[in-house]
């Protein structure tokens, strides 16, 4: 039987792969701003942050951006920097809302945390798009469209993360009780 540490490593690896898959699949979606992403892979980052800790969440985020860019051949392209910045911002916001000691006073559900992350993701991408790509504040006129899309995808990823966390945490308890029984 795998030790708890080994099974955690395996699960974090699986989450990274799933997040990278979503990241790559998302490039097929047409969006109003070239290289803009909805951030469906944030569901995996949020579930990792919730199930384990900030470190695991950051690993899944890195896997999502880096592996997702490698398989689509967009490493170091402008879209890669937008994705990296957006993911860094959303991971930071979600980690703060889940793990900061003040977060205990804010009884947010998965959807709330996820929408906050998605908003940070969209805002950072627009900001980076203005600085590196469009180079005029005109990009902000797209904010209502991009922001609504981000909020909707935040709700979907929040529900996904809640479901995933429930499934994974129930199978881990089964696993550990099983391995205890065999020992």
Partner 1 sequence: MRRSFSPLDLVVIGLALAAFVFLPSFFRGEGVADRIRIVSAEGERIVPLAGDREFSQKGPLGETVVEVRGGQIRILSSPCPSKLCIRMGSISDTGSTIICAPNRVALRLESGRTTSGGEDVDAYSR
Q: Interface residues with partner 1 (CB under 8 A)?
A: 30-34, 50, 106-112, 115-116, 118-119, 122-123, 129-131, 134-148, 150-151, 154-155, 158-159, 162-163, 165-166, 169
CA pair distance 162, 56, nearest whole angstrom: 17
Cβ nearer to partner 1, comparing 6 with 29: 29
Cβ nearer to partner 1, comparing 4 with 34: 34
Cβ nearer to partner 1, comparing 66 with 99: 99
CA pair distance 174, 166, nearest whole angstrom: 12
Asked if 13 and 67 count as a contact pair (C-beta separation under 8 A), the reply is no
Smallest separation (angstroms) from partner 1 to the CB of 39: 13
Smallest separation (angstroms) from partner 1 to the CB of 182: 27
Smallest separation (angstroms) from partner 1 to the CB of 170: 10
Smallest separation (angstroms) from partner 1 to the CB of 91: 17
Smallest separation (angstroms) from partner 1 to the CB of 174: 16
Cβ nearer to partner 1, comparing 20 with 125: 125
**Separation of CA 91 from chain center:** 6
Asked if 29 and 38 count as a contact pair (C-beta separation under 8 A), the reply is yes
Cβ nearer to partner 1, comparing 148 with 174: 148
Cβ nearer to partner 1, comparing 66 with 159: 159
Six-digit token string for 90: 């959303």
- The contacts of residue 180 (CB under 8 Å, 6+ apart) are none
CA-based end-to-end distance of the chain: 9
Q: Is 73 exposed, middle or buried (0-12, 13-18, 19+ CB in 10 A)?
A: exposed
Smallest separation (angstroms) from partner 1 to the CB of 96: 13
Asked if 91 and 45 count as a contact pair (C-beta separation under 8 A), the reply is yes
């Amino acid at each position: 039987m795998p030790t708890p540490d080994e099974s955690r490593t395996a699960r974090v690896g699986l989450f990274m792969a799933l997040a990278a898959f979503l990241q790559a699949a998302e490039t097929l979606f047409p969006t109003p701003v070239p290289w803009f992403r909805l951030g469906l892979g944030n569901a995996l980052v949020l579930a990792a942050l919730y199930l384990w800790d900030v470190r695991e969440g950051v690993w899944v985020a890195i896997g999502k951006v880096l592996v997702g860019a490698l398989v689509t051949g967009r490493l170091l392209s402008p879209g890669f920097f937008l994705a990296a910045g957006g993911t860094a911002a959303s991971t930071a916001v979600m980690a703060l809302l889940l793990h900061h000691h003040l977060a205990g006073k804010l009884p947010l559900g998965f959807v709330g945390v996820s929408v906050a992350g998605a908003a940070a993701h969209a805002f950072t991408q627009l900001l980076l798009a203005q600085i590196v790509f469009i180079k005029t504040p005109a990009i902000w006129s797209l904010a209502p469209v991009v922001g609504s899309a981000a909020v909707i995808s935040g709700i979907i990823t929040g529900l996904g993360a809640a479901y995933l966390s429930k499934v994974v945490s129930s199978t881990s308890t089964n696993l550990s009780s099983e391995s205890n029984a065999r020992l």
